[in-house]
Structure 1
Amino acid sequence: RFANRIANGRFTLDGKEYTLAINNGPNALHGGPEGFMNRIWDISEENDGRVVMTYTSVDAEEGYPGNLTATAEYIWDDNNVLTLNIGAVTDAPTVLNLTNHVYFNLDGENSGTVLSHELKLNASRWLPTDDTQIPTGEIASVVGTPMDFTSFKAIGKDIKADFEALKIGKGYDHCWVIDGYEKGRLIPVAELRGATSGRSLIVETTQPGMQIYTGNWLAGCPESISGAAYQDYDGVAIECQGFPDAPNKPSFPSPVLRPGEEYKETIRFTFK
């Protein structure tokens, strides 16, 4: 139910404390070990070409309150654009943060690392964290730091810099604050260029943040489609989402969803 981290697997909602599964050091990550990514969703293919995936999460699943039904609607068009519309409704107050965690390597499968890919972000601020990767609450400028992707820069250019945040995560695994965010408005937030293929990806979203994760711990993952094992930095994830640990940070955009409300967010991937 909640992409990214929640500190110590605990949060309080309407005066009641909830305890979640701990699966990332002292924290809860990506909804717990049996989060939405490890559940079987119902799938329907609509006559207009949409594919709609639906999952109902029962009250207290992984510690989260409320029966919640989530939908993920995927739409391909003939211009190489993949649109993902994410929705949810609940029968009790809960917290929610849904994203897509695909890894990209625009040079192709089995082509090595993405460290030579160029990345540009529509984000002049980011969220510093403690040593367990929980945001401190500060919203910091990227100016003069390795976190600055306001113009195109190779992912690997500063990834080994003497910068505490990069040492903690063994690379980039941080949330950037999107410039010009307005709830419900779809805006471009990232552009990625393959170093040798000439392919590019433009990401748009209605969400306030994006976690950039450079696959710092990919080694040892299941075999790739070419029969080899993926190595660290072989892909980059651009996870459009709300802010990490938002249930415990009143100054962050609220992740609370209540009965009668509808969660509606969009992520759009355009390939060129």
Structure 2
Amino acid sequence: MNRIWESNAEDNKVTFTYHAADGEEGYPGVLDVKAEYTWSEDNELTLRITAETDSATIVNLTNHAYFNLDGENAGSVLDHEMRLNASRYLPTDDTQIPTGELAPVAGTPMDFTQFKAIGRDIEADFHPLKVGKGYDHCWVIDNYEKGTMKEVAELRSSKSGRALIISTTQPGMQIYTGNWLAGCPESISGSAYSDYDGVAIECQGFPDAPNKPDFPSPVLRKGEKYDETIKFKFTTL
């Protein structure tokens, strides 16, 4: 369901706010959400998301931007190299719902603990990749501590010489390699997107956490404050 948020721009910051009514999309409780995007002089974009409710409800918020460090209309990101601070990931069933297992990435195509081209193993004979036609899974951030900012991912392109370093307070990150981008709206240059033309690195809580008691809880209660941050730092190689 799409919603237009209220917005306010001031200096180097844009603040978006949204008021969700009790029962909207089936979720209990009123929810007031604020997303603050702040741009710094050292090429760092900080997203801080806060929320409060009047009744216990489920909250798991993130950003779903696609990145291509070679620029707009530059084609596939499969040659981009990625490193993740994550030695485990969440296996899913055939409907891509997590099974509840936290599986090691070692020895599998899910291993990005060292820099690796996104496309190197994307066509491997590995069931998780077959289900989603590529990467569309949640990685478990190593040594997660609630409320503590950690560097969790780096994306780089030798073609452009650009790099992106991501830090967050969140426990997981969903990596989606644009497996179904073809047929999406035209780009700003008027070209059509193709599959794998961008990669999303979505720092968030674990999917299906309400049904998995061993996952970090996504429940926000009255009197508590949801407060999570994601930082995107752009630099050069």
TM over 0.5: yes
Aligned identity (percent) is: 72
Deviates more, 1:159-168 or 1:52-61: 52-61
Distance in 2 of aligned mates of 1:135 and 1:247: 11
> 1:26 aligns to what?
none
> 1:176 aligns to what?
139
Per-residue deviation, residues 45-64 of structure 1 (Å, max 9, x unmatched): 23x53211100111111111
The offset of 1:180, in angstroms, is 1.3
Q: Considering only aligned residues, what root-mean-square deviation do their CA atoms show, in Å?
A: 0.7
Which of 237, 248, 265 is residue 211 of structure 2 equivalent to?
Answer: 248
> 2:64 aligns to what?
101
Which of 130, 143, 149 is residue 112 of structure 2 equivalent to?
Answer: 149
Distance in 2 of aligned mates of 1:44 and 1:121: 34
> 1:165 aligns to what?
128
Q: Does 1:45 align with 2:33?
A: no
Distance in 2 of aligned mates of 1:247 and 1:112: 37
Distance in 2 of aligned mates of 1:168 and 1:65: 32
- Paired residue total: 235
Q: Residues 86-235 of structure 1 correspond to what in structure 2 (within 5 A)?
A: 86-235=49-198
- Match of 2:83, SS state, is strand
Distance in 2 of aligned mates of 1:111 and 1:237: 16
Distance in 1 of aligned mates of 2:5 and 2:158: 35
> 1:258 aligns to what?
221
Give, as a single letter, the amino acid of the residue that structure 2 aligns with 1:201. Answer: L
> 1:85 aligns to what?
48
The offset of 1:204, in angstroms, is 0.2
Which of 215, 218, 231 is residue 268 of structure 1 equivalent to?
Answer: 231
Distance in 2 of aligned mates of 1:45 and 1:195: 34
> 2:21 aligns to what?
58
Gaps of 5+ in 2: none
Which of 73, 76, 93 is residue 39 of structure 2 equivalent to?
Answer: 76
Per-residue deviation, residues 24-62 of structure 1 (Å, max 9, x unmatched): xxxxxxxxxx1xxx211111123x532111001111111
Contact 2:155–2:164, Cα closer than 8 Å, also in 1: yes
Distance in 2 of aligned mates of 1:258 and 1:200: 38
Give, as a single letter, the amino acid of the residue that structure 2 aligns with 1:137. Answer: G
4+ long deviations beyond 2 Å: none
Distance in 2 of aligned mates of 1:233 and 1:120: 18
Distance in 2 of aligned mates of 1:44 and 1:255: 28
